[in-house]
Structure 1
Amino acid sequence: MVTAAKTRLYPTQIDLPAEARAQLVELLNQSLADTLDLKTQVKQAHWNVKGMNFIALHEMFDTFAGTLENYVDMLAERITALGGIARGTARIVAQTSNLPEYDLTAEEGRTHLQALAARYGQYAAAVRRNIDRTTELGDADTADLFTEISRQIDKDLWFIEAHLQA
């Protein structure tokens, strides 16, 4: 990951110190990478799910991917609002995402649900840590963004886990 010391910041009238903004940009870029990766993994499940619950899972996964795409845009725009550069290319995401690689041989719905439950749980924990860290850095707006993401990710994780509990 690129360190905060290497973060280029554009001038802005946002009243957060440059050091805090640099740390926020790095944290947001990490979340951007993780969110993009999670979105592509959800799409992988969407495209390749098989079995009795195909249509329900296929549609649910597509809805989740759309939600994540909205968060990708929100995170990237927050980065640039803080004067940073959003790093969201496929190559950067592949190098920096904290999520494990997706099993490309997965087919059956339960296998996809288990994989996504694990990834959503890991992602949700990171988002909650980001709420705390952005609050410490004095950025209530970014903390609020992460709170919004956290609420929806927890709800989506509930939907995934509800399928597994049957």
Structure 2
Amino acid sequence: MPEAFVAGLDDQTRHKMIDLLNARLADTVALTLAVKQAHWNLKGPGYIGVHELLDEVADRLRDGADLMAERAVIIGGHAKGTLEVTASESTVEPYPVEMEAIADHIEALKDRFLKVGKALREAIEEASDAGDADTEDLFTEVSRAIDKDAWFIGSNAPVKG
């Protein structure tokens, strides 16, 4: 294992946190790709607003992925964010590649954001239980961004009435 650049975490905690960071990294990379898939293919009323929003959302997801990947390395592991690892390890449901309607994309993305947000909140709890306040705080920061983007995306859904 590479050198750790943090004091105060025992090896068992570091290994557990590295695995947890990489698990959430895989989900975040998969969610980023789903957002880009929607961005490229959506059609319908309100197109430009949703199209531009999804670019911003993808940027924020990449920022969160960066935080998790770098933390894994800082505490002595490797960031595992390749396509191959993401495809085999992510818990995010595969995204439909032939969807076009904005409403369908919004619903599909909202569902995925809620599931990733739930997994991040579970990761917050695991990091807290393990005594790694810094990783706990990092997951909290990423979770806040995921929740906000889920709200942004969901707010674009057609009003049912």
Residues 15-57 of structure 1, C-alpha deviations (whole Å, 9 max, x = no match): 1000000000000000110000100110000111111111011
Q: Tell me, yes or no, if the aligned pair for 1:9 and 1:22 is still in contact at 8 Å.
A: no
Q: What corresponds to 1:3 in structure 2?
A: none
1:52 corresponds to 2:45? yes
1:119 corresponds to 2:119? no
Q: Tell me, yes or no, if the aligned pair for 2:103 and 2:158 is still in contact at 8 Å.
A: no
Aligned residues: 159
- By how many angstroms is 1:10 displaced? 2.9
State the SS of the aligned residue for 1:164: coil
- By how many angstroms is 1:118 displaced? 0.4
TM-aligned CA distance change 1:135 to 1:119, over 3 Å: same
TM-aligned CA distance change 1:55 to 1:137, over 3 Å: same
Q: What corresponds to 1:15 in structure 2?
A: 8
Return the TM-score normalized by structure 1: 0.92
Structure 1: which 5+ residue stretches go unaligned?
A: 1-7
TM-aligned CA distance change 1:13 to 1:144, over 3 Å: closer
What RMSD in Å do the two structures reach over aligned CA positions?
1.1
Q: Tell me, yes or no, if the aligned pair for 2:124 and 2:136 is still in contact at 8 Å.
A: yes
State the SS of the aligned residue for 2:34: helix
Q: What corresponds to 2:149 in structure 1?
A: 156
Q: Distance in 2 between matches of 1:122 and 1:50?
A: 25
Structure 2: which 5+ residue stretches go unaligned?
A: none
TM-aligned CA distance change 1:14 to 1:164, over 3 Å: same
Return the TM-score normalized by structure 2: 0.95
TM-aligned CA distance change 1:164 to 1:17, over 3 Å: same
Identity %: 40
Residues 59-89 of structure 1, C-alpha deviations (whole Å, 9 max, x = no match): 0111100000111111110000000011111
Please, which moves more after superposition, 149-158 or 17-26? 149-158
